[in-house]
Amino acid sequence: MTLNMPHNDLIYDWNSVEKVAPLSRKPYTFYDETLRDGIQSPSVTDPPIEAKLEILHLMNELGIQHCDIGLPGAGPRAVDDVTRLAREIVEQKLAIKPSCAARTHLNDIRPVVEISQKVGLEIEVMAFIGSSPIRQYAENWDVERLMRMSSEAIKFSVDNGLPVTYVTEDTTRSRPDTLYSLFRNVIDHGAHRLCVCDTVGHATPDGVKNLIYFVKNLLRGWGCEHIGIDWHGHNDRGLGVTNNIRAIEAGADRIHGTALGVGERVGNASLDQTLLNLKLLGEIDNDLTRLLDYCRAVSTAFEVPIPGQYPLAGADAFRTATGVHAAAIIKAERKGDQWLADRIYSGVPAGMFGKEQEIEIGPMSGESNVIYWLGKRGIEASPALVQHVFAAAKAADHVFEDDEVQALISAFAP
C-alpha cells in the first residue's frame, strides 16, 4: 500500500457491494415514541414536564419529523403534559408534528380533540386496537366488534378535523383476512395511515418484509397507494433496529422508535441506533451532532442508566485499553490524520457524533497506552514513570480509572 492514500481507498465497504439504489424509492420519516410508549417501561420514571420539553426540543433538532406526546386518556396529569407539549410546539414554532395515542374509544379520543382545539394545533390521532387471534381470544372479541369500534373511532376523529392513523396491535401475528377487513373498513371511514406493529417483538426481517408487502399489495389493489404505512417494532428478539431498516427497504414510509430503546419488556426499537445506522449508510443527511445529548437527556429524565457497551452513548463505545488497538490509533494521530484515527479501530466515527477515541490503561495495554495517557494530560512521560505505571497495569485485573492512574503518579518516587 502506498503512503498518503486518499481516504476513500482505505476502507473497502462490503455493506455497499451490491447496493445500486437507496433503501427506499420513496421518502420516509421518523416517529418518536419515547414520551409515550417509552414511558410504559416498568423500569423508568415518568419525568417532569421540564424534562419532556427538553427531550421534545432535542427530537426537533435531530430532524425527527413526528412524535407521540402522550396518551391523554390516561388521566389528568397526561392531559396537562400533552397540553403543555403541544403549546410548546406552537409557541416555539417547532417543525416536529405531534400525535397522541388513543384506544379506539371515544373517551380516549375526545381529550385529544379538546387539547387540539384549545392549543390551536393539529394533533394526529393514533387509534390502536388488538388484532391478533390470540388477543381476540383473550378479550372475547370478534372481528365484527373490532370493525365497529374502529369505524366509530376513525369517524369521530375525522369529523373533528384530525388526521388519524389506525394502529393494529400485534399485527405481526394477525391473520391476513382479519387485516384485510379491518384495513378496508378504516380507510373507508377516513384513516390516512395504517400502522403495522410488532407489539411483542415477534417478527424477523423476513416477517417484516412479508407483512409490509402484504399491506402494500392491498393498498395497490384498492387504489389507495396514498395511504401511508407506519412500522412500529419492539426488540424482544434483539432485532428492533434491523427490522426498522428492513421495514424501510420493504416500503414503510414512517419508522417508529424510542431513545435508548426504552419501552415495555426489553423495549422498543432504538431510534437513536436507527438514525446512527442510516446516517452511516448515507441514507439520511440529518445533523446528528446532538444525538448523544438526546440519549443522555432521556437517560437522566427516565432514570435509566446507559450500559457501558451501548452503541455511541455508552461509556465504553470509543474506549480501548488494548495495546495493539491503542498503538494503531496513536500511529494514526501521529500522521496528523484525525479521520484515520477515528476509523482505524472503530466502525462508528466518534467525531461525527460529538465524541472522541479514548485510550486507557489496563492489563492488556502496552507502553504506548501509558505514554499517550500521560501526554494527553500534559504529564512528562519519563521512562521510569512509564515503567512504574505500566508494571502496575500488568499486575491489575481491570482497566484503571483516571484517579487510580493519578494515585500511581503521585506515589511514584524516581
Q: Residue 178 has what pLDDT?
A: 97
- CA pair distance 313, 167, nearest whole angstrom: 31
Residue 413 grid coordinates: 518516587
Question: Domain segments of the chain: what residues?
Answer: 28-302, 319-411
Residue 136 grid coordinates: 381476540
Q: Decide if pLDDT at 4 tops 70.
A: no
pLDDT in tens, 327-366: 898 898 888 888 998 998 899 999 888 898 899 999 999 9
**Residue 7 main-chain phi, psi, to 5 deg:** -60, -35
CB 195 within 8 A of CB 215: no
Q: Which of 1, 2, 60, 5 is nearest to 339 (CA)?
A: 5
SS3 category, 133: helix
Q: Decide if pLDDT at 371 tops 50.
A: yes
Q: Residue 3 has what pLDDT?
A: 56
Q: Residue 20 has what pLDDT?
A: 78
Residue 305 grid coordinates: 442508566
Which CATH fold would you assign to the domain 28-302? TIM Barrel (3.20.20)
CB 171 within 8 A of CB 182: no
Residue with grid cell 431510534, as numbered in its chain: 271
Residues 6+ positions from 157 with CB-CB distance below 8 Å: 109, 112, 113, 125, 127, 163, 164, 190
Q: Residue 1 has what pLDDT?
A: 43
What would the DSSP string read from start to end of 308-328?
A: TTSTTTSTTTTEE--HHHHHH
Q: Residue 94 has what pLDDT?
A: 98
pLDDT in tens, 267-296: 999 999 999 999 999 999 999 999 999 999
Rounded to a whole number, what is the distance in angstroms from the first to the last CA of the chain?
43
**Residue 153 main-chain phi, psi, to 5 deg:** -65, -45
Residues 6+ positions from 18 with CB-CB distance below 8 Å: none
CB 286 within 8 A of CB 248: no
How distant, in Å, are the alpha carbons of 124, 152, 159 from that of 146?
21, 10, 20
Q: Residue 2 has what pLDDT?
A: 45
Residue 317 grid coordinates: 463505545
As a whole-number percent, the residues of the chain with pLDDT over 70 amount to 99
CB 290 within 8 A of CB 61: yes
CA torsion 374→378→382→387, rounded to 10°? -10
Strands (E), 170-312: 193-198, 228-233, 254-257
**Mean predicted lDDT score pLDDT of the chain:** 95
Q: Residue 16 has what pLDDT?
A: 87
CB 86 within 8 A of CB 116: yes
Rg (CA), the chain: 25
Give the predicted TM-score (pTM) of the model.
0.93
CB 326 within 8 A of CB 254: no
Residue 268 is classified by DSSP as B
pLDDT in tens, 250-269: 999 999 999 999 999 999 99
- CA pair distance 199, 149, nearest whole angstrom: 20
Length of the chain equals 414
Q: Residue 317 has what pLDDT?
A: 94
- CA pair distance 102, 177, nearest whole angstrom: 24
CB 168 within 8 A of CB 182: yes
Residues 6+ positions from 65 with CB-CB distance below 8 Å: 29, 30, 31, 95, 96, 97
Q: Residue 155 has what pLDDT?
A: 97
Q: Residue 5 has what pLDDT?
A: 65
Residue with grid cell 452513548, as numbered in its chain: 313
